[in-house]
Each structure stands twice: as C-alpha cells, then as structure tokens.
Amino acid sequence: MVLEINPKNLEISFADWVEKIPESEIRRLLRYSPKYYFGGGKPGLLPVQTFHKIIEEIVVDEKKLLRENSTRSLDNYNYGKTEGNDDLREVLAQRLNRKDKVNCTKDDLVITTGSQQILYALNDVLIRPGDIILVPRPTYLGFLRPAEKMGAKIITLPTDENGMITEYIDVAIKLCKKEFGRNPKVLYVLPYSDNPKGTTLSNKRKQEIIDTVFPHNDILIIEDAAYKEIQFDDKEYHPLKEHDTENQRIAYLSSTTKEAASFRLGYHVLPDRIRDAVIKAKGYYDLCTSEFTQRIASKYYEKHIDEQIPIIQQGYKLRRDAMVKAVDEFMPEGIFTLPTGGFFVWYETKDKAFDSKIFVEEALENGMSFVPGYSFFPSTGYSITEENSLIHGKTSTNTMRLGYSLLSPELITEGIEKLGDLMYESQKRNTKKVKCLGTLEDYSKFWF
Ligand SMILES: Cc1ncc(COP(=O)(O)O)c(C=O)c1O
C-alpha cells in the first residue's frame, strides 16, 4: 500500500509552552517604527564614535598579530570559554569592586549573551513546577515569562513610588508556608530605577530585604541591576549584594545593554553552585558568547566607560525631564512615577475601565507606541494585597510604560501631547489633573 503524503504541509505539534506563553509585548512592538516611540527600552544615546575607535584599534592589533603569530590570531576568532572571556571578566570584576562595592574576583563572574540569557538560565536551573517566586507588582516581563514557562507559581507584592514595599515580603513568606507548605524559592528585586516603574529602593528598604530574607537560607535573592549605570542623581549606589560578602545568597545581575546595546552582554556574580549550573545550561544554549564582542567590551569597560557615562546620563536626564513634564501637562488624570534613573515612566490613568492593551493599537495607527501595563503582570498566579491576603491574579489594564530613552526631548514633548490628545478622544473626557508619585521636593527640582 502506498501512503499518501503531501510533502508541502508540515504536520507537527509544538511544545505546550508555545501556546501558553504570550509573545513578549516589547518584542512585538519593535516590529513597528512609529515616529513617537515610547515602547521598548532602546538606548538612544550610545558612544558610537568610541566603539568605532575600539574596533579600529582591534583591527590594527589583529593585523600585526596575524603577521607575527598566526595560531594566536586564529584563537581570537574561535570559540571561547562558556563562562566568558578572561580579560573581560577581570576588567568587570575590578569595576564591580571599585564602583558597585561588589566583592568578587573574575572567577565569580559569568558572561551571558545579554542579561536576558541569565534571567532564562536562572529559571531554567532553579525552578521545578510549583516552586514559588516573589516579585514586585508590576515586574519585568523578561523575568516573568521564563518563570511561567518553567511552571513557577508567581506571587506579586505591592509597590509604591519607592519600589517594592518590603514589609510584604515577610507577609508573603508566612502565607506561602501556610497555603502551600513551603517557602518561596526566589525573590526577584530590581533595586535601581526598575523596569517598568523606574522606582528606586531606599537603603532602609534594602536593609529590610536582607533582614527578612537572610534568615531563610532556602531563598535566593536575584538582584537585577540592569539600570545601575543610568542614574540621574549623585547618590551612592549600594547594591543588596554588598551585604553578601561570602557570595552565598544573592545572584547579582548586570548588563552592558543600556550603555552599549549591540554588545548583547550580561555579566553576573553568582553563588558557586548556581554559577556552575548556569554555565552547564549555557553550554547547551549557545556554547559561549561571541569572543569578538567580548573583546570590544573589554576595551570599552577598561578605558572608556567612565568618561562616557556622565555624558550619557546627562542626555537621558533631559529626556526624563521632558517626559515627566509632558505627562504632567498632557495626559489625562492619573498618577505617574518620577524615575531617578533608567528609561521608563509608569503612568496609571484614573479611569480604571481604560484598557491600554486595546488603546495601544489605536496609538500605533497614529504613529505612537508605548508598552501596555498588563505585560508586566503574570498571566496567572497570586498577589499579596495591601490587606495582607493572598489572592488569585491582579492585573491592571489602565496602566502604561512610557519609555523616554530613544527620542529627543522635543519629540518626547510633541509625542506625549499627541498621545494625551488621543487618549482624551478615546476616553471622551476633558478633565485633566495628574499627581506625581515623587515627593514635591523631588518633583520641583527638575523643572520649576
Ligand atoms: C530589568 C531588566 N533586566 C534585564 C534586561 C535584559 O537585558 P539585556 O538587553 O542585556 O538582555 C532588561 C532589558 O530591558 C531589563 O530591563
């Protein structure tokens, strides 16, 4: 008997998660190129000329090396170590000690292909279905979705204008024990200018996190410091990791992305056992990160970054000011955050029935983008309420993440005015009054 096979049609089923986990809203929005781009956190200020200079230097060195020692030259274009290039890890370890007060050596560091890879890897190596993860509400979707993919139970904790409200961590730990018979496995924290709210934890709150979590040695803190270089005030940066002098309890994550996006490099200080498991996983994801970009990064972080960062910070600060002022002036009644760094303002309109997921389509048609707030909440899962109870879900649809990193202050002002007008039209409302979530003192110092 001859089997009838139509070779044109592929008949294949996908892994369960492909249906279950939504596409990243940020990645989806990147398909559009609206004039007024307030979507993904694309850096708009990069020291391109410095990158050219470094690449030119490398080419000169390489040509010389090829003449003198062709074997070593070949090595430079080959596979590298899974944990990362030694020179780059040395340069970054020194900078972490000096600037971020993180006590580490190059051997504590792992380089990944973007910080996104470590967010995936940590979930991959740690999470068994049913394990519990505590996160601020809202939180970065690049951490949430891989956690959901691995079957984690996600519990969100209340936040305010200063980030995660730390007293709820203890409440959550006790409720986990009572309801699920176990401790959470991970607490995910974004201490500086978080994504999506742009809020920053005070030193007092950071100390409270340490005091609450450290007595439980079955809970890992993941400290995501993606925006630590993009800060607008002169306050000293004190990471939670500073308290983890033995490198046992905190996975400290950094990225080169916000100051050099195309490198696609993340660098992380991880407790030993976690580091080994992550390297093992990475060996199967991509074997190793590109040696060539690591060499460029090594020169950039050794010689140039400290000169470039203040210029970049100043530029983003002007953009932040323009965004906050325009939101204050043009958006419908609501509340918004006053970021002390990073790329985003979080805006919540007073109209609870407003659905930013629907509105974003209208905005895109009119040449504007933003990320609808629902993306920063787990698709399923639990929340700790302000009344200390554990409930299912809790997503807000009347929220937006507005990114100011890509556009000039002029375009930001123009675009937010248009976005506000479109929202008024959409909401059929004409009252407007917004409340800033910073203190009046913070608020006034930026533009009055
Ligand atoms: C908080 C946070 N962590 C991690 C990442 C991922 O960084 P990378 O671009 O290095 O993969 C991002 C990217 O926007 C982020 O906002």
How far, in Å, from the CA of 261 to the mean position of ligand 1? Answer: 10
**Domain harbouring 42, CATH code:** 3.90.1150.10
CB within 6 Å of ligand 1 — which residues? Answer: 41, 114-116, 119, 140, 142, 190, 195, 224, 226, 255, 257, 266
CB 184 within 8 A of CB 219: yes
How far, in Å, from the CA of 123 to the mean position of ligand 1? Answer: 15
Nearest to 403 by CA among 342, 350, 317: 342
Which domain-ending residue is among 305, 339, 362? 305
Atom of ligand 1 nearest to the CA of 117: 11
Please indicate, yes or no, whether residues 227 and 131 belong to a single structural domain of this protein.
yes
Atom of ligand 1 nearest to the CA of 140: 1
| Cis amide bond preceding 146, omega within 30 | no
Atom of ligand 1 nearest to the CA of 190: 1
Tell me which of 257, 282, 376 to substitute to probe ligand 1's pocket, judged by most ligand atoms within 8 Å of the beta carbon.
Answer: 257
Tell me which of 26, 145, 194, 195 to substitute to probe ligand 1's pocket, judged by most ligand atoms within 8 Å of the beta carbon.
Answer: 195
How far, in Å, from the CA of 354 to the mean position of ligand 1? Answer: 28
Please indicate, yes or no, whether residues 278 and 324 belong to a single structural domain of this protein.
no
Please indicate, yes or no, whether residues 345 and 202 belong to a single structural domain of this protein.
no
pTM exceeds 0.75 for this model = yes
In this prediction, what percent of the chain has a pLDDT beyond 70?
A: 94
Tell me which of 201, 223, 255 to substitute to probe ligand 1's pocket, judged by most ligand atoms within 8 Å of the beta carbon.
Answer: 255
Please indicate, yes or no, whether residues 248 and 297 belong to a single structural domain of this protein.
yes
Please indicate, yes or no, whether residues 32 and 117 belong to a single structural domain of this protein.
no
User: What's the CA gap between 375 and 357, in Å, rounded?
Assistant: 9
- Domain around 358: 24-46+309-381+392-447
Residue 265 forms beta bridges with which residues? 113
Please indicate, yes or no, whether residues 268 and 336 belong to a single structural domain of this protein.
no
How far, in Å, from the CA of 400 to the mean position of ligand 1? Answer: 18
Please indicate, yes or no, whether residues 180 and 290 belong to a single structural domain of this protein.
yes
How far, in Å, from the CA of 41 to the mean position of ligand 1? Answer: 9
Could you tell me if residue 31 is inside a domain? yes
* Confidence tier at 438 by pLDDT (50, 70, 90): low
* pLDDT one-digit tens code per residue, 60-92: 999 999 999 999 889 888 999 999 999 999 999
* Confidence tier at 234 by pLDDT (50, 70, 90): confident
Please indicate, yes or no, whether residues 41 and 68 belong to a single structural domain of this protein.
no
pLDDT top residue among 164 and 40? 164
Which domain-ending residue is among 254, 272, 305? 305
Please indicate, yes or no, whether residues 139 and 267 belong to a single structural domain of this protein.
yes
Please indicate, yes or no, whether residues 291 and 354 belong to a single structural domain of this protein.
no
CA 340 vs CA 11, 123, 216, 294, 349: distances in Å: 52, 29, 31, 30, 21
- Helix 48-68 vs helix 291-299: crossing angle, to nearest 10: 120
* pLDDT one-digit tens code per residue, 346-392: 999 999 899 999 999 999 999 999 999 999 999 888 999 999 999 99
User: What's the CA gap between 89 and 294, in Å, rounded?
Assistant: 9
**Domain harbouring 77, CATH code:** 3.40.640.10
Nearest to 134 by CA among 101, 175, 106, 103: 175
User: What's the CA gap between 346 and 373, in Å, rounded?
Assistant: 8
Could you tell me if residue 2 is inside a domain? no
Within 10 Å of residue 4's Cβ, how many Cβ atoms?
A: 5
Q: How many domains does the chain have?
A: 2
Tell me which of 112, 115, 197 to substitute to probe ligand 1's pocket, judged by most ligand atoms within 8 Å of the beta carbon.
Answer: 115
Could you tell me if residue 171 is inside a domain? yes
pLDDT top residue among 262 and 15? 15
Please indicate, yes or no, whether residues 331 and 420 belong to a single structural domain of this protein.
yes
Please indicate, yes or no, whether residues 202 and 344 belong to a single structural domain of this protein.
no
Which domain-ending residue is among 305, 323, 346? 305
Instruction: Give, using CA atoms, the residue closest to atom 3 of ligand 1.
Output: 226
User: What's the CA gap between 315 and 153, in Å, rounded?
Assistant: 40
